Structure 1
Amino acid sequence: MTSRPHCHDLYTVDQVRALDRRAIDVLGIPGFELMQRAAVAAFAYLQRCWPKARRIGVYCGPGNNGGDGFLLAALALQSGWQVTLFALSGDARGDAASAKERFERAGGHVHRWDGQTAIPVADVHVDALYGTGLTRAPESVPASLIERLNASGEPILALDVPSGLNADTGQCPGVAIRAHATITFIAHKRGLHTGRAAEQVGEMELDTLTLPQALWQDTQPDATLLEAQAMPPRARHAHKGDNGHVLAIGGDVGTAGAIRLCGEAALRAGAGLVSVATRESNLIALNSARPELMAHAVDGPQALGSLLDRADVLALGPGLGQAAWGHALWLTALEAGKPLVLDADGLNLLAREPQRFTQAAILTPHPGEAARLLHSTASEVEADRFAAARALAGRYGAIVVLKGAGSLIADPDGRLAVCPWGNPGMATGGMGDVLTGIVAALLAQGCSPWQAACLGVGLHARAGDAAAALGERGLMASDLLMPLRRLLNGLDA
């Protein structure tokens, strides 16, 4: 993604349509001119991505997205390229009809896609079937084209949005183009950055079509992409008491690893002190593996009291369990009123006994936990991750991190950020425990809850990407700890 104006701003489909309409009605830029600019930008991007390409297949729908495709195809013909173009129908509308005529005047021939014809062999296929308006599954004839393009093994460039992907939610109600690259126009559509979009968009570039800054001045983005950040250097006279005391609570019988990962991540993320309240049977393992953790045997709420008094921030939930021991510690910890990060069984207990937080609280659910907290289903959460994250933050009065591809961070006022990093290798046990420790440590070091959540999610995902340099399969949660330390300090991982 290039560094351009608005490259970190995310908009809803309705907002982008309004921007497009404003460019035409207020700024006086004809719609066909915008279409020409999009085609020029897309053809230039295609040449940068595939400099040896000279044969393309172009696939156009009846709307403006198809118009972009017709004009790109005309540019390719004028450059001496071999172009095969299929249209979904013989009818194009409005500016798209003018674009079709220009392609034909350039010597192009429009083939009608009937669901039976073989697609051409091409250096690159250009997807201009559907734009931002599609929210349902593609019908059978275009679906067959999408399936053949995906199966071709040849590169695909998507114009604006990979066809079949919901540009608002990031979900695919049916088949969808798996693009190798996507060039999106005017503004980033929020759905291209979370959920299933990670599988569909490939490399992505935004082109604002040289529109003036005045276009965006009255439109607040719906969300923003996180930017890479680190913690500032410590004062030379700093001591451990200046960097906060995290108390990690959890690790029932058989889950010592979860609370160790959480505590060790808090140390690597810069907490001055980290205590662990856990089962007595875990002490030998914790003290042997990581003596910097101050591990304490806690058999019930009374034993937790003195540890809570000394702590600045609580990391509550990794390996906690939902039985009597975990439930009692959970209740006691919440009643202490300390700032906290709540994960795993801490969230499952909250779903059973809901409450709205008055202290600083950060919840870090995956979609299944989010569904329990909303009394919904994981599929309903994934159907609109933006709405789910905002609903959770509003219901519980907390900052919410909705984990997954394109993790979301939401606050009770509706502010929302999206994480652009991370990889499938991170879909393994213990990753959430590490995130909990990181966020708790940042909160203990003086970050606001919003800052701690955003910085913590970003560092966690970037560390995961650095650790995946050796391959995604086999990536373990503990592999994040050393790149985390470098990234936290502003060093290359």
Structure 2
Amino acid sequence: MPSCAPMAVDQTLLRAWQLPMPDPDSDKEGRGHVLVLGGSREMPGAVILAATAALRAGAGKLTIATGRSVAQLVALALPEARVIGLAETDTGGFTRDAVATLDPLADKVSAILIGPGMQDERATAVLVHALLPRLAGSDTSVVLDACAMGAILFPPDGVAPFRFLQPVVLTPHAGEMAHLSGAAKDAIVADADHHALDAAARWNAIVALKGARTVIAAPDGVSWQHAGGNVGLATSGSGDTLAGILAGLAARGATLAQATCWGVALHAQAGTRLARQFGQLGYLAREIPAEIPFLLEMIAGRQGSDP
């Protein structure tokens, strides 16, 4: 496995790695269809944040699959979305019936984000492992966030270590990486590059190990790093917006690595812009998505510099 120094995710790299743009004559299908699967009775807002971010990142069509108990609330909050209500477990997950409900969408979505606001890690792992074979061989990009990353800990055959057959994106912070890998959190913080690269190779995933310096690692040993943003991004719901941005970019046709690098940079720069307006502490995760369309244009060189 290569052990090259990580590439800096900066404006030079991103402008040389332009995101796919829809044909001017294309309709919303040409901009990609994203499915956000998540939410629970206690955390319905997570899917709203993630789904809003996916649309702000440029996805053209949005479907949300969430708990039946909160589906109407989510639909009212996001009139742009089709919302599907799923049967729930007593502990905040979804039953296996969700697979049959979602099966007709498997051939229609460009990207699927699983995890924001879900609570039952074991039930979520069962659902992830039931859905992944249905998506195998397709062009659907898969982003696993929060609870859904626990699929690594509960392999379908009970045999560890687990490895995804097709690459997915994983978005752990150091605490989540400790939970998934068994390594100590302090050790992960001290050597984020090693742990991100090792996890990417073992799990066959693009791993975005989040922190003040985010390390992005691919299974082939290529890695990137982004240092930026501010402490204000360490707030409830911020990770949901990042995951939504990644899914929206992937739905547009970005590769998993490209969507992750761009998404991390966009998320950080949105925090920088909000800190100028509100101060470093106190801005809200719900305010992050509105910054994304301008930043997409600015970083790509289609708008003037950020004032």
Query: Normalization by structure 1: what TM-score?
Result: 0.53
Cα distance in 2, alignment partners of residues 280 and 361 from structure 1: 27
Describe the superposition over 1:379-433 as per-residue Cα deviations: whole angstroms up to 9, x where unpaired.
1211211101101101101111000101111111211111122110000111111
Unaligned runs of 5+ in 2: 88-96, 156-160
CA pair 379-334 structure 1, distance change in 2 beyond 3 A: same
Indicate if the aligned counterparts of 2:40 and 2:119 stay in contact, CA closer than 8 A: yes
Match of 1:157 in 2: none
Q: Does 1:224 align with 2:7?
A: yes
One-letter identity of the residue aligned with 2:130: T
Cα distance in 1, alignment partners of residues 210 and 177 from structure 2: 9
Q: Does 1:389 align with 2:196?
A: yes
Q: Secondary structure at the match of 2:26?
A: coil
CA pair 291-325 structure 1, distance change in 2 beyond 3 A: farther
Number of corresponding residues: 274
One-letter identity of the residue aligned with 1:379: D
Match of 2:131 in 1: 333
* Cα distance, 1:324 vs structure 2: 6.4
Indicate if the aligned counterparts of 1:233 and 1:489 stay in contact, CA closer than 8 A: no
Q: Secondary structure at the match of 1:489?
A: helix
Q: Does 1:484 align with 2:272?
A: no
Match of 2:144 in 1: 342
The 5 A counterparts of 1:228-307 are 228=11, 229=14, 231=19, 234-299=22-87, 300=97, 301-307=99-105
Match of 2:222 in 1: 415
CA pair 232-356 structure 1, distance change in 2 beyond 3 A: closer
The 5 A counterparts of 1:28-427 are 222-228=5-11, 229=14, 231=19, 234-299=22-87, 300=97, 301-322=99-120, 326-336=124-134, 337=136, 338-353=140-155, 355-427=162-234
Cα distance in 2, alignment partners of residues 459 and 295 from structure 1: 27
* Cα distance, 1:359 vs structure 2: 2.0
Cα distance in 1, alignment partners of residues 121 and 8 from structure 2: 39
Indicate if the aligned counterparts of 1:250 and 1:326 stay in contact, CA closer than 8 A: no
Q: Percent identity?
A: 35
Match of 1:456 in 2: 263
Q: Secondary structure at the match of 1:446?
A: coil
Indicate if the aligned counterparts of 1:222 and 1:416 stay in contact, CA closer than 8 A: yes
Query: Normalization by structure 2: what TM-score?
Result: 0.84
Higher relative contact order structure (alpha carbons within 8 Å, sequence separation ≥ 6): 2
Cα distance in 1, alignment partners of residues 32 and 20 from structure 2: 15
Match of 2:90 in 1: none
Cα distance in 2, alignment partners of residues 277 and 329 from structure 1: 13
* Cα distance, 1:489 vs structure 2: 2.2
CA pair 232-303 structure 1, distance change in 2 beyond 3 A: closer
Unaligned runs of 5+ in 1: 1-219
Alignment RMSD (CA, Å): 1.9
